[in-house]
């Protein structure tokens, strides 16, 4: 058997674009793909560090063969979550600042509180 199999869409339809300029949708796709590649690179460094810690030396095969156990995976997921949070901060912040609050009221309330304590 030599038949190569390519997994291509069959009937995915037109890709939806949400912004008036579809280049913005494309740009977001590029940013997201890049975010994944940075994470993959970080994991590779993490693998190298773990192997060096353990063995003091390593080969490329060691890296390729390395599979995280549940503990390492949990650590990496914690780091990935923090990384995603930092990367997409601007979107999260918008949500957080939607609810208007009066800075002066906040300041006065804090001053009152501090004066009492």
Partner 1 sequence: MPLQHEHDFLVTGSHDEMNRQHYVSRLRMHILNQIGGGVRDVYENRVKPAFEKDKGRIPKNETEIHKAMMADHYGRTWSTMMVNCQDMVWDSVRPAIERAQPDLNDRVRGVNARYGSVTLNPDIAMPRYLEAADIHRMPGNYHTERAVDDATQGALYDRGRFVYNGGAAGPFADGIPRTMAAYIKARWPEFKPKRILELGCTIGTSTVPFVDAFPDAEVHAIDVSAPSLRYGHARAEALAKPIHFHQMNAEDLDFEDGSFDLIYSCIIFHETSRKAYPKILEECQRVLTSGGMMAHTELTPVANMSDFDAFYIDWDAYYNNEPFYKTYTSLDPQEWVTGAGFEQDKFFQVSIPDLDRSSSDAFADSVSNPTVADSKAARVGESARWYTYGAWK
Site residues for partner 1 per CB under 8 A = 1-13, 15-19, 24-25, 28-29, 32-33, 35-37, 39-40, 43-44, 47, 63-68, 70, 73-74, 76-77, 80-81, 84-85, 88, 91-92, 94-95, 98-99
* Smallest gap from residue 21 Cβ to partner 1 (A): 11
Rounded Cα gap, residues 5 and 12, in angstroms: 18
Angle, helices 89-96 vs 70-87, to 10°: value is 70
Q: Which two tokens stand for residue 94?
A: 């918008």
* Smallest gap from residue 104 Cβ to partner 1 (A): 20
Cβ of 108: how many Cβ atoms within 10 Å?
A: 11
Q: CB of 50 within 8 A of CB of 65?
A: no
Nearer to partner 1, 2 or 117 (CB): 2
Nearer to partner 1, 19 or 107 (CB): 19
* Smallest gap from residue 56 Cβ to partner 1 (A): 20
Nearer to partner 1, 9 or 56 (CB): 9
Rounded Cα gap, residues 62 and 44, in angstroms: 11
φ, ψ of residue 60 to 5 degrees: the values are: -60, -35
* Smallest gap from residue 1 Cβ to partner 1 (A): 4
């Amino acid at each position: 058997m030599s038949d190569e199999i390519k997994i291509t869409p069959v009937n995915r339809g037109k890709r939806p674009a949400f912004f008036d300029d579809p280049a913005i949708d494309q740009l977001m796709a590029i940013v997201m793909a890049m975010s994944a590649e940075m994470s993959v690179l970080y994991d590779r460094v993490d693998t190298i560090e773990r192997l060096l810690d353990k063995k003091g030396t390593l080969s490329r095969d060691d890296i390729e063969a390395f599979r995280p156990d549940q503990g390492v995976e949990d650590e990496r997921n914690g780091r990935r979550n923090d990384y995603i949070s930092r990367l997409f901060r601007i979107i999260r912040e918008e949500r957080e600042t939607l609810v208007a609050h009066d800075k002066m009221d906040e300041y006065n309330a804090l001053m009152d509180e501090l004066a009492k304590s």
